[in-house]
Amino acid sequence: MLEAGVPIPSHSIGTPVFTMMVAIFGYAAYARYCSGTREELTLFNPAAPLTVLLNAPGRAGKVTWIGVRPERRLPMQAVEEARLDPAYGLAGDHYQGRASQLRQVTLIQSEHLAAIGSYIGMDRIDPERLRRNIVVSGLNLLALRGQHFRLGSAILLGTGPCHPCSRMEEILGTGGYNAVRGHGGITARVIDGGTVRPGDAIQRIDAMPDGKVPAQ
């Protein structure tokens, strides 16, 4: 039973599932998981079935496109190499150096570009129109939420979903905002710096028994 007055997070996965997770892990642990950090995920019982599923091994994906936004509202520029730094994020992007490090890099799945396009009568959406930095294929990015992962030679931490902004209606036309909902990818911050190029791998990193992330 949930305690009286305990709020269900706005991004809840549904009341029945939420109730089940709270019953298994406790509300505090579930709330910390929703905040999206790997360290807090360790508060779950590691032997619990849901935790085992969340931490199950997954195949590597591949980077297919990289773009930076030089200034707000300016067109994105495709690049063949990008530098990632823990202090400022993605070099050349207008988000670099911002106080909040939760959105240093944005990623989206190539598979979702066709899905978004289909919702507004297009075959496929060009990645620069969605204003995400990294396009990848071959893995579900939501599995990287709250997880460390290797992107090229850098290590990042998935910090949460990347929700669409109101500009999607302007860029994609009527229905653009709703077309991107649930398919906008994830945000991430840089833990260890490095470079990334199209063709590089993206893969979750499993923590060592002491909870630390393995060195490169």
Q: Which domains does the chain have, with CATH numbers?
A: 15-54 (no CATH), 61-204 (2.40.33.20)
9 vs 31, higher pLDDT: 31
Q: For residue 81, name the pLDDT band (cuts at 50, 70, 90).
A: very high
Above pLDDT 70, what percent of the chain? 72
pLDDT value for 170: 86
28-37, 42-51, 179-188: the lowest-pLDDT one? 28-37
- Most confident segment among 44-53, 159-168, 181-190: 181-190
> Can you list the alpha helix ranges (DSSP code H) found in the chain?
15-25, 27-34, 38-41, 49-54, 110-119, 127-130, 167-172, 176-180
Q: Is the pLDDT of residue 85 over 70?
A: yes
102 vs 109, higher pLDDT: 109
Q: For residue 203, name the pLDDT band (cuts at 50, 70, 90).
A: very high
Tokens of 16: 């029945």
pLDDT value for 171: 86
- Name, in order, each residue with C-beta under 8 angstroms of 204's C-beta and a sequence gap of 6 or more: 58, 143, 144, 147, 148, 149
Rounded mean pLDDT, 79-90: 94
